[in-house]
Chain A
Amino acid sequence: GAGVSQSPSNKVTEKGKDVELRCDPISGHTALYWYRQSLGQGLEFLIYFQGNSAPDKSGLPSDRFSAERTGGSVSTLTIQRTQQEDSAVYLCASTTGVTSKNIQYFGAGTRLSVL
């Protein structure tokens, strides 16, 4: 079956612009995670969605970052007024959320470059 799909694969934007990154999880997976991978900070957790529960936003670095998940499936990560330090690879992962292992399966990521 299809894996986690992320789009766009690459995004170049100008400082101050807003960007939207999309994640389409594996069908049937109720839990969805966003991570950021940057040279300086490595891989960092951003936000977690589980079913209809309130998301865990504890990893979002600033209020310029937000995310939503519509219909318990597709998620969009929005970065407003982008800054150069937002340049990174944004990875999305999904999992069934109910197994003893809870293995997260990742997409190929969106590489964001802020000029």
Chain B
Amino acid sequence: AQKITQTQPGMFVQEKEAVTLDCTYDTSDQSYGLFWYKQPSSGEMIFLIYQGSYDEQNATEGRYSLNFQKARKSANLVISASQLGDSAMYFCAMREGRAGANSKLTFGKGITLSVRP
């Protein structure tokens, strides 16, 4: 079974509108971390937001927020007030186990987001 599932192949959003990118995960660990990264056409992976499994509040970082629903094992990324520069590939990733040990990430297949002017 896939550990990280991103099923939306491509998303389009109008500039200044909000968009939700879906991510579901699968793990039997109690301690884990969930990450979202952005990869523009330049290729660099840019960290956006982090949610720990024990965090009770949804994470927020500027225009990014993470809708964490632990029982459903989902960690959707919400981008508010989309900008043209948000056009990129977005990856959801998971670290299983506690941080500090080998924190290798398992990535989803990614979602392409295109922002229309």
Residues of A within 8 A of B (CB): 31, 33, 35, 42-43, 45, 48, 50, 56, 59, 89, 91, 93, 95, 97-109, 111
What's the minimum C-beta distance from B58 to chain A, rounded to whole angstroms?
15
Q: Summarize A's interface: helix, strand, loop or mixed.
A: strand
A-B pairs under 8 A by CB, number: 62
Q: Are the C-beta atoms of B104 and A101 separated by less than 8 Å?
A: no
Residues of B within 8 A of A (CB): 33, 35, 37, 42-47, 50, 52, 91, 93, 95, 99-100, 102-110
Q: CA A101 – CA B44 in complex, angstroms?
A: 20
Q: Are the C-beta atoms of B52 and A101 separated by less than 8 Å?
A: yes
Q: Are the C-beta atoms of B104 and A59 separated by less than 8 Å?
A: yes
What's the minimum C-beta distance from A108 to chain B, rounded to whole angstroms?
4
Q: CA A98 – CA B99 in complex, angstroms?
A: 7
29 contacts between A and B (CB under 8 A): A33-B104, A33-B105, A42-B109, A43-B91, A43-B93, A43-B105, A43-B107, A45-B104, A45-B106, A48-B102, A50-B102, A59-B104, A91-B45, A99-B99, A99-B100, A100-B52, A100-B100, A101-B99, A102-B33, A103-B35, A103-B50, A104-B47, A104-B103, A104-B105, A105-B47, A106-B44, A106-B45, A107-B44, A109-B44
Q: CA A108 – CA B41 in complex, angstroms?
A: 10
Q: Summarize B's interface: helix, strand, loop or mixed.
A: strand
Give 9 new A-B contacts, CB below 8 A, not counting A42-B108, A99-B99, A108-B43. A43-B105, A45-B106, A48-B104, A91-B45, A93-B45, A99-B100, A101-B52, A106-B47, A111-B43
Cβ–Cβ < 8 Å partners of B37 in chain A: 106
> Whose C-beta in chain B lies nearest to the C-beta of A97?
B100
Q: Are the C-beta atoms of A98 and B100 separated by less than 8 Å?
A: yes
> Whose C-beta in chain A lies nearest to the C-beta of B47?
A103
Q: CA A35 – CA B105 in complex, angstroms?
A: 9
Q: Are the C-beta atoms of A102 and B99 separated by less than 8 Å?
A: yes
What's the minimum C-beta distance from A27 to chain B, rounded to whole angstroms?
18
What's the minimum C-beta distance from B43 to chain A, rounded to whole angstroms?
5
Cβ–Cβ < 8 Å partners of A42 in chain B: 107-110
> Whose C-beta in chain A lies nearest to the C-beta of B93?
A43
